[in-house]
Chain A
Amino acid sequence: MAGFLQQVIVGLGTGAIYASLALALVLIYRFTGIVNFAQGELAMFSAYIAWQFTAAGVPFWLSLVLALAVSFAGGMLVERVIIRPVEGAPELTVVIVTVGLFIFVNAAAGWIWTFLIKDFPNPFPGGALHVGGLSVAFSTLGVLAVVGVVMGLLYLLFQHTKIGLGMRAVSANPDSARLVGIRVGWTLALGWGLAATVGAVSGVLVAPLLFLEPNMMGGVLIYAFAAATLGGFDSPLGAVVGGLVVGVAETLAGAYVTAIGPDLKVGVPLAIILGVLLLRPQGLFGRAVVERA
């Protein structure tokens, strides 16, 4: 039993990372209806920026803040320069543009920093908290806390600030948002900036676990897609719950189902995506749109 719970704890730790990237995916999807395939690569790029600051001798937490700020500006820039021209184009066009962005960002990171892996400083102390027969690594606690804080801040932003209300209005009805005086273009850019910032958190959390290299987010993106699908692509809370469930499911499947084992566990998110799409397409927390005429 203790062994099982131990696996669950490990799963929650990795799940929290998936949750943070899923949260970024969900943010952009809610605002613009775009599934941003480049979200993971943007997060990887942000992690490199943080690494660059630490390599220059800047203390870790300050590097993180700087990287988040750069990511925010970068996300807005991506929306203005790359997404804006295809705004209103068919979905397929926009999807292909984000796939192109994926390849571009990946190659750019390789060109700037090479494809050799880099050691990324772990912000959390080593060691673990021992409760009963279980041990919870401080880094797991740290990751869970960070994701919790991000989630809380987003909730406050959306539910309790005027700018958050404006953002929700834009996602609900852009035409009406314009008519009440909201600058819709800037609000969409703000959404991308915000998503890039949330994604950056996930990149910085992943980097110390997987080592920093341009392809590190590829797998994480698949898990994040599974998390967002499971939770509901339009639900931030769903993204977090979905991320945790996917993390636990993956860990348990890898540990206990011998047929799967550590090699095949990447199949777990795919099975989850397929299962959700068949059984409950709107996800656990997503809204199937029902309206009175």
Chain B
Amino acid sequence: MSELTVHDLHAGYGGAQVLHGVSLTVGEGEICAILGPNGAGKTTLLRALSGMVKGRGSVRLDGAELLGRPPDALARLGVAHVPEGRGTFTQLTVEENLRLGAYVRRSGVEDDLERIYTYFPALKPRLRQAAGSLSGGEQQMLALGRALMLRPRLLLLDEPSLGLAPLVTRELFHIVRAVNEQERTTVVVVEQNAHLALGVAQQAHVLETGRIVLSGTAADIRADEQVAQSYLGYRV
């Protein structure tokens, strides 16, 4: 639903700079994949976008500056971040986790719960169960469901495939694609599994040591054999 413009973003932890001037634009309703090796700064980029780490430069969502605001304020602006490790409220029930996703919203929460169950039918029989008792795949679905409960303008996904069986991962990306198509949610997804991410994204950027070293349409990047070998770790 919204256009994201990142310009010359620098970010890091304490004295250690991780991002050195990242610029990118994600069009309204687009899925953008951020690829790259471990330690490239992919997670830090998402954290800067959701306010979890401080950044310099500019991050605008439909023109409104996001930098400098705390994560809770960004959530109220419609930025939903599924963090690395999923961020599940493990002691709370599945339903409570989902309701927390809509914490800043007032109306339509019940309808949206039903909407989440249609995307993730596996969650419905487990509503009263502690979220910590779910399997990894179910927890990832719950995390995505929780983010969708915000009705986000911008959805940030950090390594959704991490630790999941290939079949589960594919299902998850399928759902991300469906959500993006039905609700025109703008998505930034960070992934190690480049093949999967490029399968759903319109555009992609390759990040290396805090800089974007390559940008293009997902199809172009997938077609570039050299990129495939040096950054994405597989042969075409």
- Which residues of A does B touch, CB under 8 Å? 162, 165-166, 168-169, 172-173, 175-184, 287, 291-293
Contact of B99 with A165 in the complex, beta carbons under 8 Å: yes
B24 on the A face (CB < 8 A) = no
The residues of B that contact A172 with a CB separation of less than 8 Å are 89-92
Query: With the chains together, A292 CA to B92 CA distance in Å?
Result: 14
Contact of B72 with A181 in the complex, beta carbons under 8 Å: yes
Query: With the chains together, A175 CA to B53 CA distance in Å?
Result: 12
A181-B104, A182-B72 known; 19 new pairs, CB 8 Å cut-off, are A162-B103, A169-B92, A169-B96, A173-B87, A176-B83, A176-B87, A176-B88, A178-B52, A179-B52, A179-B72, A179-B75, A179-B80, A180-B103, A181-B72, A181-B75, A181-B103, A291-B90, A292-B133, A292-B135
Contact of A165 with B150 in the complex, beta carbons under 8 Å: no
Chain A proximity mask over B68-92: 1 for CB below 8 Å, otherwise 0: 0011100110001101000111111
The residues of A that contact B103 with a CB separation of less than 8 Å are 162, 165-166, 169, 180-182
The residues of B that contact A168 with a CB separation of less than 8 Å are 89, 91-92, 96
Query: With the chains together, A287 CA to B130 CA distance in Å?
Result: 13
A282 to chain B, nearest CB (A): 13
Query: With the chains together, A172 CA to B135 CA distance in Å?
Result: 19
Contact of B92 with A179 in the complex, beta carbons under 8 Å: no
B194 to chain A, nearest CB (A): 25
Contact of B133 with A175 in the complex, beta carbons under 8 Å: no
Chain B residue with Cβ nearest A290: B132
Chain A proximity mask over B124-160: 1 for CB below 8 Å, otherwise 0: 0000000011111000000000100010000000000
B36 on the A face (CB < 8 A) = no
Chain A residue with Cβ nearest B130: A291
Chain A proximity mask over B168-201: 1 for CB below 8 Å, otherwise 0: 0000000000000000000000000000000000
B165 to chain A, nearest CB (A): 14
Chain B residue with Cβ nearest A173: B89
In the complex, 28 of the A-B residue pairs with CB atoms within 8 angstroms, ordered by the A residue number, are A165-B96, A165-B99, A166-B103, A168-B91, A169-B96, A169-B100, A169-B103, A172-B89, A172-B90, A172-B91, A172-B92, A173-B88, A173-B89, A175-B83, A176-B89, A176-B100, A179-B83, A179-B87, A180-B101, A180-B146, A180-B150, A181-B104, A182-B72, A182-B100, A182-B103, A183-B72, A291-B90, A293-B136
Also in contact, A169 and B89, with CB within 8 A (given A179-B83, A291-B132, A292-B132): yes
Query: With the chains together, A71 CA to B106 CA distance in Å?
Result: 30
Contact of A175 with B90 in the complex, beta carbons under 8 Å: no
The residues of A that contact B44 with a CB separation of less than 8 Å are none
- Which residues of B does A touch, CB under 8 Å? 50, 52, 70-72, 75-76, 80-81, 83, 87-92, 96, 99-101, 103-104, 132-136, 146, 150
Query: With the chains together, A173 CA to B96 CA distance in Å?
Result: 13
A168 to chain B, nearest CB (A): 6
A165 to chain B, nearest CB (A): 6
Contact of A178 with B90 in the complex, beta carbons under 8 Å: no
The residues of A that contact B52 with a CB separation of less than 8 Å are 175, 178-179
The residues of A that contact B101 with a CB separation of less than 8 Å are 180
Query: With the chains together, A181 CA to B147 CA distance in Å?
Result: 11
Chain A residue with Cβ nearest B104: A181
Contact of B134 with A180 in the complex, beta carbons under 8 Å: no
Chain A residue with Cβ nearest B149: A180
Query: With the chains together, A162 CA to B104 CA distance in Å?
Result: 10
The residues of B that contact A178 with a CB separation of less than 8 Å are 52, 70-72, 75
A189 to chain B, nearest CB (A): 14
The residues of B that contact A162 with a CB separation of less than 8 Å are 103
Query: With the chains together, A182 CA to B83 CA distance in Å?
Result: 16
Contact of A179 with B71 in the complex, beta carbons under 8 Å: yes
The residues of B that contact A169 with a CB separation of less than 8 Å are 89, 92, 96, 100, 103
The residues of A that contact B100 with a CB separation of less than 8 Å are 165-166, 169, 176-177, 180, 182
The residues of B that contact A166 with a CB separation of less than 8 Å are 100, 103
Chain A residue with Cβ nearest B79: A179
A159 to chain B, nearest CB (A): 10
Q: Of A176, A180, A291, A293, which one neighbours B104 at CB under 8 angstroms?
A: A180
Chain A residue with Cβ nearest B99: A165
Query: With the chains together, A170 CA to B88 CA distance in Å?
Result: 12
B57 to chain A, nearest CB (A): 21
Residue from A168, A179, A184 having most chain B Cβ neighbours under 10 A: A179
The residues of A that contact B92 with a CB separation of less than 8 Å are 165, 168-169, 172
